[in-house]
Amino acid sequence: GIMIQLPIPRDFLRGRSKWELIDLIDPKKDIDGMVESSEFVSATVKGVMKILDVIARIRQPAETKQSQKQGVQTKWRILSQFDVSEIASPRRAGLAMTEINKFMNNIRVRFAPSPTGFLHIGSLRACLFDYLIAKTLGGKLILRIEDTDKKREVIGAVEGLINILDWVGIKFDEGPGSIVAAINGAQANINKDVGGFGPYTQSERVKIYKEQAERLLKKGAAYRCFCSEARLKEMRESQQAKKLPPRYDRACRNLSEGDMAKKLAKNEPFVVRQKMPLDGEIIAHDELRGDIKFAARDLDDQVLVKTDGLPTYQFASVVDDHLMQISHVLRGDEWIPSFPKNILLYQGFGWQPPKFIHLTLTLN
């Protein structure tokens, strides 16, 4: 069996007989509950659960029995990461619980599929990890639909997504009302978002991206590029012919205020590009791989907002992950080459990045 030694708050023991404590640990006497001293109680996991359950019940009277049990189990797992010996009084135990609740409230993991086809098995695998991390740490699982690539959108993809997630049995705590209701099988208001961080469908967030792009332009971390499609094509072809990597030549990066104003007055279409550092090294931290180093000279001034005003994945995902207070981003490792650009974007905004976990790809 598993033996766990849990220091019990002294005040909790005061005035209770040894038998009362054994009863508390093991009311059915089906486990070995044993009081070793007035300060320490050794018990099996079940006994520890019982004690945490008592503490949790005091803290959270509104919880239902089932979710309370799960909550207590999760709290125990999290508590084991804290220095339990620090808890020397019910007040300290209460503070620890407050800390744990705070910790759990801060765990927000998102699954962010694009409706560009049938849900890939690799995406589903990422979703399972999202679910496991969110639930192991007592946090929330959020569904976000990344539908800004209108050219690649496939009719019926969202329905396919609903069917698969419904079959897998994963439930979401937040997301677009109609989709979450269909997946969770709940009677939710299908016209309303579930959760307070919506809208959860990117095409409904265009105004937010516009505002954030303006902020980034003002901060000098991005610039407007008025280069025509024809010019960019010509540039790409000439780079290919010279066997150079395709890269924007930064022609608009240093446009004068006057030229810019003229172009804007003429309503010339533009994209917003990220201003990459010209030299140095960018370090991006992945929870599995540690620090990954990238040379700034290899980074392209990528497009953040397209001429139609829609954001690219690179921009929308950073803005949304920040505004939705996402704590962990799990995604395929095909995103590692652009990972430093994401980190630079967080820096440009002055935001703290979430924890990134890049998963190996599942091919076919």
H/E run at residue 41: strand 40-43
Residue type, 101: N
| Touching ligand GLU, residues 142-181 (CB under 6 A) | 146
Q: CA–CA separation, 347 vs 243, rounded Å?
A: 32
Least distance (Å) from ligand GLU to the CB of residue 313? 6
Size of the site for ligand GLU (CB under 6 A): 7
Torsion of CA 48, 53, 54, 56, to 10 degrees: 130
> Closest CB to ligand GLU among 13 and 141?
141
Least distance (Å) from ligand GLU to the CB of residue 33? 46
> Closest CB to ligand GLU among 198 and 311?
311
The span of 17-25, 77-85, 108-116, 177-185 binding ligand GLU (CB under 6 A) equals 108-116
Nearby residues of 349 by Cβ (< 8 Å), 6 or more positions away = 212, 215, 216, 219, 221, 318, 322
> Closest CB to ligand GLU among 74 and 327?
327
Q: CA–CA separation, 151 vs 250, rounded Å?
A: 26
The span of 55-63, 66-74, 98-106, 111-119 binding ligand GLU (CB under 6 A) equals 111-119
Residue choice 24, 55, 93, 112 for contact with ligand GLU (CB under 6 A)? 112
The span of 110-118, 171-179, 218-226, 260-268 binding ligand GLU (CB under 6 A) equals 110-118
Structure tokens at 240: 């290919």
| Touching ligand GLU, residues 255-294 (CB under 6 A) | none
Beta bridge partners, 295, equal: 281
Our finding on whether 55 is near ligand GLU (CB under 6 A) is: no
Our finding on whether 354 is near ligand GLU (CB under 6 A) is: no
The two beta strands, 281-286 and 290-295, are: antiparallel
Our finding on whether 331 is near ligand GLU (CB under 6 A) is: yes
Residue choice 9, 47, 113, 177 for contact with ligand GLU (CB under 6 A)? 113
Residue choice 74, 317, 327, 342 for contact with ligand GLU (CB under 6 A)? 317
* Residue pointed to by tokens 């995604």: 331
Q: Do the beta carbons of residue 150 and residue 310 sit within 8 Å?
A: yes
Alpha helices by DSSP H, listed for 6-152, are 10-13, 18-25, 45-59, 65-79, 90-105, 121-136
Least distance (Å) from ligand GLU to the CB of residue 119? 9
> Closest CB to ligand GLU among 244 and 361?
361
The span of 79-87, 112-120, 193-201, 292-300 binding ligand GLU (CB under 6 A) equals 112-120
Least distance (Å) from ligand GLU to the CB of residue 341? 13
Our finding on whether 342 is near ligand GLU (CB under 6 A) is: no
Least distance (Å) from ligand GLU to the CB of residue 129? 11
Q: Do the beta carbons of residue 177 and residue 189 sit within 8 Å?
A: yes
Q: CA–CA separation, 249 vs 235, rounded Å?
A: 8
> Closest CB to ligand GLU among 146 and 301?
146
Rounded to 5 degrees, φ, ψ at 6 are -120, 120
> Closest CB to ligand GLU among 97 and 112?
112
Our finding on whether 114 is near ligand GLU (CB under 6 A) is: yes
The two beta strands, 34-35 and 328-332, are: unpaired
Q: Do the beta carbons of residue 288 and residue 280 sit within 8 Å?
A: no
Least distance (Å) from ligand GLU to the CB of residue 144? 8
Q: CA–CA separation, 27 vs 184, rounded Å?
A: 36
The two beta strands, 140-143 and 108-111, are: parallel
> Closest CB to ligand GLU among 146 and 193?
146
Residue type, 234: E
Positions that interact with ligand GLU (CB under 6 A): 112-114, 146, 313, 317, 331
